[in-house]
Structure 1
């Protein structure tokens, strides 16, 4: 963002020469002094030229140093970016067959009574700050109001779109869910609590391995490490992403209630949609 520095008055602050000074330079009594001053002025011009030349060299030196600094910074950032993106695939690198059409409830981590008539899908990215905020503010309320009461079943679907480490974090979640559905929801909550900055690459393999080792018990860590490093669950992440896009998801978090995608992520709208579906089936 540009910032206004205010008016600069330095260029307009020179006082005009007084009439007295102008008069003294032209009086007969000061001719010799004027000539002397003229001689000094010629010498001063020589000094000015030398000063100007030195100043020009100084400016050129600064420009060259600045160019060198910028070049080194670009090289450093390029190298650090390459390092941070190591082992982080993009979607074009994930090969395999998948079907974008069809809501694949059976493939997703789920929470709640499987016999509940209302099925809610949450589309989210683990790097998304809004997803973290929703988790912290509304998740416990949703669980209390609708999940624990058996009124709805919640499903999680990856919409990993922010950066390449979004895909890595999503694949880690898939690897946890493959071992334990219950542990996935613990992983989800704790990873949001340890979320890094959206604009930085933080969900790297090293971070995720260390995070799971420190924060999740009751899983086969060696299996998780193998699955993460071998990209075992990258294709399901891509399938999630393509399926979400097929049904119109364009941001996170976003919710779908019994197949209908909601236009916003507000809790009030989600609750109203759930209540409307419950009314259709007689309460539960």
Structure 2
């Protein structure tokens, strides 16, 4: 089971610096989100699973809706994002915070994500944005940087599939193994891949993703935001289906009526 981690001092200081560029409300958003995502994350990964009446996804209305809208703003919707799938203008964005050494992340990648892509990404409803959230030490850091490097050659998702294949993590993520995964993923220039993996740019990209995860209160992997609403853990397909379709319906209602339904 994923072990919760605490934000590093650098993560806290970076979040503090970046908050100066956000609306004043952002500070409240971070505090509330930490409670929402932290609680949901704990309940979803507790030994006995979610308690009676505890939803896997938070779908509240009222004041929390403002929090969700602010969190939805974390979606980058960048056409040049190599670690994303789907239209930049898709009505629903799923942000995934994950670690390549996380068994539950692998379960989601193998069992659920391909079906989400088939059902919702391919028809333009959903965009998936990956965030590297390495919390299990040096090997996780190395795999995160390697995935970013594979993305520089448009092979992130192929690398993602290779790294999350059944029993892949048991083989480790040493230097030679990462290079073999890159080759398996179809990365053409392996020397460039190695340079990119070791680069300061890779370190920075991973740092930014991880600090965003800490900033919203994520404490375990995988953690998700679906249009700003948190979902924690490798939940059943039905949980994601419900959350995505509810978010799509809400967006359609906003587009038709100019404001969400009460």
TM range (shorter): 0.5 to 0.7
Find the residue that maps to 2:97 and give its secondary structure: strand
Q: Judging changes above 3 Å, is the alpha-carbon distance between structure 1 residues 250 and 262 closer, same or farther for their aligned structure 2 residues?
A: same
Counterpart position of 2:112: 138
Q: What is the aligned counterpart of 2:224 among 255, 259, 279? A: 255
Counterpart position of 1:79: none
Higher-Rg structure is 1
User: Is this contact kept in 1: 2:82–2:152, CA < 8 A?
Assistant: no
Q: CA–CA distance in 2 between the matches of 1:239 and 1:258? A: 20
Q: What is the aligned counterpart of 2:164 among 162, 177, 192? A: 192
Unaligned stretches of 5+ residues in structure 1? 1-90
User: Is this contact kept in 2: 1:205–1:229, CA < 8 A?
Assistant: no
TM-score, L = length of structure 1: 0.59
Counterpart position of 2:185: 216
User: Is this contact kept in 2: 1:187–1:216, CA < 8 A?
Assistant: yes
Find the residue that maps to 1:282 and give its secondary structure: helix
Please give the per-residue CA displacement for 1:252-284, whole angstroms capped at 9, x wherever unaligned: 112101122224441322221111111112289
Structure number having the greater helix percentage: 1
- Map 1:70-85 onto structure 2 (within 5 A): none
Q: CA–CA distance in 1 between the matches of 2:193 and 2:169? A: 21
Moved more, 262-271 or 219-228: 262-271
Please give the per-residue CA displacement for 1:200-238, whole angstroms capped at 9, x wherever unaligned: 9x212222123323x032532221111223454011111
Q: Which has the higher contact order (CA 8 A, sep 6+)?
A: 2
Find the residue that maps to 2:128 and give its secondary structure: strand
Unaligned stretches of 5+ residues in structure 2? 1-7, 20-72, 256-262
Counterpart position of 2:86: 112
Q: CA–CA distance in 2 between the matches of 1:244 and 1:210? A: 29
Counterpart position of 1:168: 142
- Map 1:1-284 onto structure 2 (within 5 A): 103=74, 105=76, 106=78, 109-180=83-154, 183-193=155-165, 195-197=168-170, 202-213=172-183, 215-266=184-235, 267-282=237-252
Find the residue that maps to 2:123 and give its secondary structure: coil
Q: CA–CA distance in 1 between the matches of 2:188 and 2:245? A: 36
Find the residue that maps to 1:262 and give its secondary structure: strand
Q: CA–CA distance in 1 between the matches of 2:186 and 2:226? A: 32
Q: Judging changes above 3 Å, is the alpha-carbon distance between structure 1 residues 262 and 282 closer, same or farther for their aligned structure 2 residues?
A: same
Q: Judging changes above 3 Å, is the alpha-carbon distance between structure 1 residues 256 and 145 closer, same or farther for their aligned structure 2 residues?
A: same
